[in-house]
Amino acid sequence: MTPTAKRILVTGASSGLGAALARRLAAPGVTLLLCARRCEPLEQIAAELRACGAEVIAEALDVSEITACSDWIDRMWQQGAIDLAILNAGIFGGRTPDGRAETPQAATEIITTNLIGAAAPALRLAELMRQRKAGQLVFISSLAAFGPLADAPSYSASKAGLTAFARALREDLLPEKVKVTIVHPGHVETRQTAQHVGPLPGMVSAERAADLILRAILSARSEYAFPFHLHLSLRGLALLPLRWQYRLNKAFRFTVRPTDPLD
């Protein structure tokens, strides 16, 4: 289940879903362009993927550093056009275990990383792909884009904003033959769910999530959300009065355990 793409970029590739996607994509003849904040685990993943026959170029990079990220994309493009870019990097945060709401500083970091850290590189990649009239951009959003989480408002906002941005970009790129796929996963077993203290309905492994996402990429779906029943439930919930939403959501409230940045 490997795309025909030969040069593939993945952000947030040092662990979790990003690493699982990179593993699925690694094959002889494929060049993987990987970035993440954490250098050591990124190099470990890179070594593993090279053993699978893939060429791997890995760089420690914070996607929220706009200039550095754009420079990296330009350098990678100079070595060959990028066929597929999976914008996966993200961080999670919310209400702390002692019941306090997230801080303004935490909110800024979450929105900057999850939204700006995907939108800015996407715009640079879109410009390059537009000139070539080929390529595919994949945005890893979240079901939280459809059902905002009271205990993680900034995370929810970042993913809702990302979905809106990607939809707008998709329409703009349609005449240019550049594909845009938006993925909305539910709970995926990663460091993010390890931070999440509370119910995790419908959780799937990172490997299962990677398989589902790659199917959506291969079929060039415009949007894909999973698990289906949770997506449907969130759509229905949004139609109810606020007080009903509050009562139904009460059973799923959670806190977020502090940890190091994800990628």
- What gap in Å lies between CA 210 and CA 224, rounded to an integer? 12
Does 167 reside within a domain? yes
**Enclosing domain of residue 92:** 7-256
Amino acid 116 reads I
Q: What is the pLDDT of residue 2?
A: 59
Does 261 reside within a domain? no
Does 102 reside within a domain? yes
Q: In what helix (H) or strand (E) does residue 61 lie, and over which residues does it extend?
A: none
User: How deeply is 14 buried, as exposed, middle or buried, from its count of CB atoms within 10 A (0-12, 13-18, 19+)?
Assistant: buried
Does 1 reside within a domain? no
Q: What is the pLDDT of residue 224?
A: 98
Does 19 reside within a domain? yes
CA angle 105-15-84, nearest 5°?
A: 95
List, in order, residues 6 or more apart from 219 with CB less than 8 Å away: none
Q: What is the pLDDT of residue 263?
A: 56
Catalytic residue numbers? 155
**No. of H helices and E strands in the chain?**
10, 11
Q: Beta strand pairing status for 196-197 and 255-256? A: antiparallel
Q: What is the pLDDT of residue 3?
A: 66
Q: What is the pLDDT of residue 256?
A: 96
Count CB-CB contacts under 10 A for residue 18: 29
Assessment of whether the complete model's pTM goes beyond 0.85: yes
pLDDT in tens, the chain (263 residues): 456 779 999 999 999 999 999 999 999 999 999 999 999 999 999 999 999 999 999 999 999 999 999 999 999 999 999 999 999 999 999 999 999 999 999 999 999 999 999 999 999 999 999 999 999 999 999 999 999 999 999 999 999 999 999 999 999 999 999 999 999 999 999 999 999 999 999 999 999 999 999 999 999 899 999 999 999 999 999 999 999 999 999 999 999 998 765 55
Domain CATH code at residue 218: 3.40.50.720
Number of domains in the chain: 1
Does 30 reside within a domain? yes
Does 263 reside within a domain? no
User: In the 8-state DSSP scheme, what is residue 187?
Assistant: -
